[in-house]
Structure 1
Amino acid sequence: AAAGGSDDWAMGVAGADLSYTIELPGGRFDPPANRITPVGIETFEAIKVFGNYVEEKYAAHRE
């Protein structure tokens, strides 16, 4: 986590209820070609978990 990132701004200044930052594994912005698909799959799984959380937390409030 890095202090002062856009996720911090979204929560602190814009007042967003939720904010997150996805970071690539290994501390690199340019994974080797053979890691792109596995990283994409892993990231998509994380997004699905986050989406399920948002649905459970907020969808009930709309009804």
Structure 2
Amino acid sequence: MTTGNLADGQLFPVFGVGPIQGESTNDGSGQGEATYANIPATMKSAGLIKSNIFGVYMNDFRKSLSL
């Protein structure tokens, strides 16, 4: 099994699955950014999953890509 680590520096969450502290939006009201729970955190709170975790399987990295 191959695993990865988070890179040092600023992170930019994508599709609401990034680190919770990075999930925010600016509504243009001048009040600053509003934070929100990401998708896995919301699913855990609702009891749908046991852990606040997300994974993506993008096929076997050892095989060659053909289009």
* Higher Cα Rg, which structure: 2
Structure with greater proportional strand content = 2
Fold similarity call, TM over 0.5: no
Question: Could you tell me the TM-score, scaled by structure 1's length?
Answer: 0.26
Structure with greater proportional helix content = 1
